[in-house]
Structure 1
Amino acid sequence: MNFELPVLAPSILAADFTKLGKNIEDATKGGVTWIHCDIMDGHFVPNISYGPGIVKAAKKAAPEAFFDVHLMIENPDDYVENFVEAGADLISVHYETCPHLHRSIQNIKKYGLMTGVVVNPATSLHNIEPVLADVDLVLIMSVNPGFGGQSFIESSYEKLSELAKMREEKELGFLIQVDGGVNLKNIKKVSEAGADIMVAGSSVFSAEDITARVEELIEKLR
């Protein structure tokens, strides 16, 4: 795993898809070692993003980067193998879409990948306590999933702190990731609340100079 905590993980959902390779290369020049891929199906969330083909193309642009695939889709078990073949290093699934969450986690593990579980803003952390020992990452959604560019939900700070406390008390080693509304103004506070990996989309890829913006965000984390 080629990354050092805390990590900035740009979401390519916010990239210019006519310049996807260039956008990713610019981000890696700034120090990015982790790429986040938001997969949306138009059912679980009210938007459709992209599929394994884009993940595979993105991987070619940054073969050394760690690729984290976030499945905001119904029936995620049916698509895990496709994203494994596309080059995912970690696949995370939503608590809200997995009636048999242990089984879904084991389905990812059998391919030798790292696993993650995701919770929406209104979902209690206590719902995922039974699987915390089985996952490598927990993703706290700090916006309601489905669209980029939303504002950070303030109650997420408390949720991050609560999860960090649970991790410490249970003596577990999962990473804590946050996704939604992370920007220059709040990235340091988000990290201090307990997050190890900060997903940022529009705050990275809407910048005129992506490399400089990445360097600025990473400097805030350091």
Structure 2
Amino acid sequence: MTSAVKISPSILSADFSKLGEEVRAVDAAGADYIHIDVMDGHFVPNITIGPDVVKSLRPHSAKVFDVHLMIAPVDPYIEAFAEAGSDIITVHQEAGAHTHRTLQKIRSLGKKAGISLNPATPETTLEYLYEELDLILVMSVNPGFGGQSFISSQLRKIEAIRNRIDALGLDIDLEVDGGVNRETVQSVISAGANVLVAGSATFKGGPSKYAENIKALKGQ
């Protein structure tokens, strides 16, 4: 059962010289979550931000901080991101050998636990993890950079995961990140996603366009 669609603007596409202001702007424009991409230059070929930046942004919005850790190893940093004010902490299935333990760690800190799959990682790797999850993030681009084109093969993966969540009767958000825009959004929703990460599609045109962009993604 797919709940109402939520939009999680990725601040990777925001103006980094005024991140606090940008977070306040998308919050006011109707964002449901704030998506924070953390990259280490090792697991993915880019470097972004650390827990201190998450902490500094926390006073700027009461919305859910949807923190996506594209880092390896990930376990040593879970606690720091939890303390910084993350609400959901998502780790990559490919980032460590003991994913179940990592998810338990996140929940033990009072945070929602998410897992992300790169485009080449099959949904079958989730089979013994569903009960530990609050969110599943399907990467519809190869992680590392914003502004990439949607990989259409991921629609089959989204649909398969949605069917499995529903069959198990679990309450898990199904999120999609990468190339989500006005052209691709309907196919993503139809496949079963209910949380959409939208960087370029939200921030395009500047603050005066944020509300319009978010409404368009929601089909309003």
What TM-score bracket applies, with the shorter chain setting the length?
A: over 0.9
Q: How far is 1:214 from its partner? A: 3.5
Aligned residues: CA RMSD: 1.4
Query: Which of residues 119, 122, 136 is equivalent to 1:124?
Result: 122
Letter paired with 1:27: V
Which residue of structure 2 aligns with residue 68 of structure 1?
Answer: 66
Question: Is residue 179 of structure 1 aligned with residue 146 of structure 2?
Answer: no
Retained in 2: the 8 A contact 1:187–1:217?
no
Letter paired with 1:125: E
Give me the whole-angstrom Cα distance separating, in 2, the residues matched to 1:13 and 1:98. 24
Give me the whole-angstrom Cα distance separating, in 1, the residues matched to 2:196 and 2:135. 12
Which residue of structure 1 aligns with residue 53 of structure 2?
Answer: 54
Which residue of structure 2 aligns with residue 26 of structure 1?
Answer: 25
SS in 2 for 1:130: coil
Structure 2 length normalisation: TM-score?
0.94
Identity %: 43
Structure 1 length normalisation: TM-score?
0.93
Map 1:142-161 → 2, pairs under 5 A: 142-161=140-159
Deviations 1:18-66 (A, max 9, x none): 121221122112111310111100111011111112112222211x110
Query: Which of residues 191, 199, 203 is equivalent to 1:193?
Result: 191
Which residue of structure 1 aligns with residue 38 of structure 2?
Answer: 39
Q: Can you give the 5+ residue segments of structure 1 that lack an aligned partner in the other structure?
A: none
Q: How far is 1:210 from its partner? A: 3.1
Query: Which of residues 97, 101, 104 is equivalent to 1:99?
Result: 97
Worse-matched range after superposition: 19-28 or 193-202? 19-28
Which residue of structure 1 aligns with residue 205 of structure 2?
Answer: 208
Which residue of structure 1 aligns with residue 5 of structure 2?
Answer: 6
Q: How far is 1:188 from its partner? A: 2.3
Give me the whole-angstrom Cα distance separating, in 1, the residues matched to 2:4 and 2:57. 22
Letter paired with 1:197: V
Give me the whole-angstrom Cα distance separating, in 1, the residues matched to 2:148 and 2:129. 29
Retained in 1: the 8 A contact 2:141–2:151?
yes
Which residue of structure 2 aligns with residue 169 of structure 1?
Answer: 167
Deviations 1:128-153 (A, max 9, x none): 11101110010000000011110010
Q: How far is 1:190 from its partner? A: 1.2
Give me the whole-angstrom Cα distance separating, in 1, the residues matched to 2:184 and 2:22. 23
| Length, aligned pairs only | 217
Retained in 1: the 8 A contact 2:112–2:134?
yes
SS in 2 for 1:122: coil
Give me the whole-angstrom Cα distance separating, in 1, the residues matched to 2:163 and 2:88. 24
Which residue of structure 2 aligns with residue 83 of structure 1?
Answer: 81
Structure 1 123/18 Cα, relative in aligned 2: closer, same or farther at 3 Å?
same
